[in-house]
Amino acid sequence: MKDRPGATIINMASRAGKVAKGGQAAYCVAKTGVIMLTKCMAIEFAPYQVRVNAVCPGQIQTDLREWDISWSRW
């Protein structure tokens, strides 16, 4: 990437990397790690004009989310 000025790296993180949620410690920590990795990479690649960003989408209503909601009520 250093040899490709103007290149972009996009990492996928999650809102969970910014907002803690009970019962999801490992997932939240992993996503926080992706966010920090992105920040460090952005600093390291800046001299080479390579942009590094992370996308942090929120929850999406899916069947899995419905299961998570119903399961957590137990």
Whole-number Å distance between alpha carbons of 74 and 63? 18
Whole-number Å distance between alpha carbons of 16 and 3? 33
27: annotated active-site residue: yes
Q: Whose CA is closest to 40, among 18, 69, 11?
A: 11
Which one is catalytic: 4, 8, 27, 53?
Answer: 27
Which positions ≥6 away from 45 have C-beta within 8 Å?
1, 2, 9, 51, 52
Q: Which residues are catalytic?
A: 27
